[in-house]
Structure 1
């Protein structure tokens, strides 16, 4: 029951690392699916796609008469000479900075990110240069919170999230309790599609105008140019102009955009919305697949079987899954079978989940035979984690950190050779899967961790573990 265009997208998407998609045409869900162990109802980390929701909060505050886009930033966040920087410049990433302000924010000795942002040098006249800067979005969040007395999440919940029927949502905050704004929001893939449809309908949902149409038009227009001055043809969809925390695309479309392929693509001319979550290193290729197969496909797809009628329910594409591991060999019978230890554990980090690009602090590893496969034991600074590994399957589980927070994961593991075991831990609310390749020998094991995607690196330090004393 899958049309040719959707089938073509699925082929590209699986190769590129897409985790879920929702396709709307004419306001109707045409097709949706998720690659197991990811699920359509599991909130996902959105990274910079959060910015488009921050923009919406600013638009609502403008509609409430709390501020205007041409207000001076220093009137809302006093404490520095910002050379005439306005709210508009925060929205369009034309603040006059020549780099991200995150380092200045994080370096503030009192964890005052607002003060850190205000101290970041304004070296150009605001409004003259586009420089992508998540700190500008954080500043917008700080302004909205000062004006409303609420975090972005609390401000948006009754005005946007509840009317649209969003599921569970969280938003990270800075040390002083201000929503991070430019990142840190988690929502379900279906929530992303509803948000895109709201914007396609110029802010109207059923019989209510949730967001002013004028704001939608301004936010999604090309407010400032951002083309590569060298004339590079790479990443063309990042050179079509920038609005109020929305990117313009080719094909007269626009999008919200987050790291590793978190997208909401809105194509008004063909009445289409596509929401995608991914763990990809080639975001442009994912956009190419969206435009080729889902946006620019013929109105009447040539079906592989029967095409859906206008009134048919959505095609929930089943049997999608990330590859699960299956044993390629039996382990060597005389390998040490008990837990292995390496260096003493270090003090636990204060975060709720193993984050991308955080060094993997492994203390030890073991694998033993279980009823339906293998039981892998991973020992890190948070304690000992035990993961079921059934051949050819992903097993849902949780990874509990030292603060007691249980983070959803799914695991698969198998023997690649007589002395080599691989464990994959998919953090199902995030885009990354962490793999542990373990080479056992007579005296211990060598553990090589790596991530499927990462901001600065994907390879972690190799750990040498020695055989633990038997008890």
Structure 2
């Protein structure tokens, strides 16, 4: 199963292998560097974190699993990268024009958006740079140093604000005539043969009265999240079908907001932000990170896509439904132990170094 992969984004899948309804396991883990020593070290690292499940995929097969990868739970902000994937087809078909403004779409709030805020485009929202600082309808935004409303030109200043992401969901539904969750079921869950997807678990959640636009929250398992990651790694392919347009995969995972233009505090391994994806740092000494992207959600929900290695990594810190739902109506204040981006990438590093050691 060992495959030599050029360290660049592939125009076609590196292998033809995709999981059927069940994931196949890698036949010879040692060919990917997964020795007993590496496995023991990874086990120990994960046991020291509040991780509830973890999955590593190599060449379309499960290389390593930890915990119950079938457990379905709240994705938090990982939902945003999924919306980015869904938008690709609609953009390619001309149903979504990223130059449309909030005024064009008649997107407004009960107390009104400011004239300058109404000039924000869908592109501005995709890169979290709308300049709209209206209170969002769900938690999870950067609540520090929020600019004064009307003080920033749309597209010019990055501020991680759920208003942008929630309004994008509303715009998707308006322009495509499709419910976000139904689109996911038809475009992804069905074609990818997701094992644990339950349409009844997906839901809109948020604060009452804060905004017209609530959050479209997904509840998925680690092994189904890995299917999403594999699609991105394979340049939008799933078997013989182009699930996400290849041009969109490239455009949605290139840096649109470099790290030095971001006002985030934790970005030591992040080079920038794209269309709802975080982009890791690549150096001349780490070409294996070329084309990589990360979907990240609060408490420790992650998907790392590494096309140069044909690998995917997923981490879950499962949040019970009752706590997830309470958090999103504003009544859940307690912060649970979380897995950070640095924690997650540190575990993934063990597999990456082991893989590179086999070359």
Q: Report if aligned partners of 2:55, 2:66 keep a CA contact under 8 Å in 1.
A: yes
After TM superposition, the score normalised by the length of structure 1 is 0.54
* Contact 1:70/1:86, CA 8 A, preserved across alignment: yes
**Matches of 1:203 and 1:179, distance apart in 2:** 29
Q: Does 1:152 align with 2:152?
A: no
Residue 127 (structure 2) pairs with residue 92 (structure 1)? yes
Q: How far does residue 236 in structure 1 lie from its aligned partner after superposition?
A: 1.2
Higher relative contact order (CA 8 A, sep 6+): 2
Q: In proportion to residue count, which structure has more strand?
A: 1
Call closer, same or farther: CA 1:123–1:171 in 2, change over 3 Å: farther
Q: TM-score, normalised by structure 2?
A: 0.70
Which is greater in Rg?
A: 1
2:249 aligned with 1:210: no
In 2, Cα distance between equivalents of 1:199 and 1:270: 13
Indicate if the aligned counterparts of 2:101 and 2:118 stay in contact, CA closer than 8 A.
Answer: no
- SS state of the match for residue 258, structure 2? coil
**Residues 127 and 61 (structure 1), Cα distance of their counterparts in 2 relative to 1, 3 Å cut:** same
Show the counterpart of 1:138: 166
**Which of residues 212, 220, 223 in structure 1 aligns to 2:256?**
223
Give the C-alpha shift of residue 11 in structure 1: 1.1
Deviation string, structure 1 residues 378-414 (Cα, Å, up to 9, x no partner): xxxxxxxxxxxxxxxxxxxxxxxxxxxxxxxxxxxxx
Equivalent residue number for residue 26 of structure 2: none
Question: 3-state SS of the aligned residue for 1:264?
Answer: strand
The separation in 2 between residues aligned to 1:145 and 1:231, in whole angstroms, is: 30
Matches of 1:243 and 1:138, distance apart in 2:
17
Structure 1 position 263 matched with structure 2 position 302: yes
Distance (Å, rounded) in 2 between the aligned partners of 1:76 and 1:17: 42
Gaps in structure 2 of 5+ consecutive residues: 1-28, 139-147, 283-288, 319-336
Q: How does 1:72-471 map to 2 (within 5 A)?
A: 72-79=101-108, 80=113, 81=115, 82=117, 84-97=119-132, 101-102=135-136, 105=137, 121-166=149-194, 167-169=196-198, 170-174=201-205, 180-181=214-215, 184-227=217-260, 235-237=267-269, 239-251=270-282, 252=289, 253-278=292-317, 280-299=337-356
Do the aligned partners of 1:264 and 1:275 also contact (CA within 8 Å) in 2?
A: yes
CA contact 2:234–2:310 (8 Å) conserved in 1: no
The change in CA–CA distance for 1:231 and 1:150 in structure 2 (over 3 A counts) is closer
Q: How far did residue 209 of structure 1 move?
A: 0.4
Deviation string, structure 1 residues 109-156 (Cα, Å, up to 9, x no partner): xxxxxxxxxxx9342001111100112111011011122333200122
User: How far apart are the structure 2 equivalents of 1:31 and 1:275?
Assistant: 11
Q: Distance in 2 between matches of 1:91 and 1:184?
A: 17
What SS does the corresponding residue of 2:168 show, helix, strand or coil? Answer: helix
Deviation, 1:218, is: 1.0
Judge conservation of contact 1:21–1:33 (CA < 8 Å) in 2. Answer: yes
CA distance in 2 between counterparts of 1:221 and 1:287 reads: 21
The answer as to whether partners of 1:171 and 1:180 remain within 8 angstroms in 2 is no
Q: Say if 1:53 and 1:276 are closer, same or farther in 2 by CA, change over 3 A.
A: same
The structure with the greater share of residues assigned to helix is 2
Residue of structure 2 in register with 1:464 after alignment: none
Q: Matches of 1:228 and 1:127 in 2, distance apart?
A: 12
Quote the Cα distance in structure 2 between the aligned partners of 1:282 and 1:240.
Answer: 20
> Is 2:300–2:316's contact at 8 Å kept on the other side of the alignment?
yes
Count, aligned residues: 278
> For 2:214 and 2:352, how far apart are their aligned partners in 1?
32
Distance 1:278 1:78 in 2: 34
Structure 1 pair 100–243 and aligned structure 2 pair: CA distance change class (3 A): farther
Q: Structure 2 vs 1, CA of residues 231 and 273 (structure 1 numbering), >3 Å: closer, same or farther?
A: closer
Question: C-alpha displacement at 1:74, in angstroms?
Answer: 1.9
| Deviation, structure 1 residue 294 | 1.8
Distance 1:197 1:75, change over 3 A: same
Q: Is the 8 A contact 1:44 1:187 kept in 2?
A: yes
Gapped regions of structure 1 (runs ≥ 5):
107-119, 302-471
The 1-side partners of 2:263 and 2:106 are apart by 36
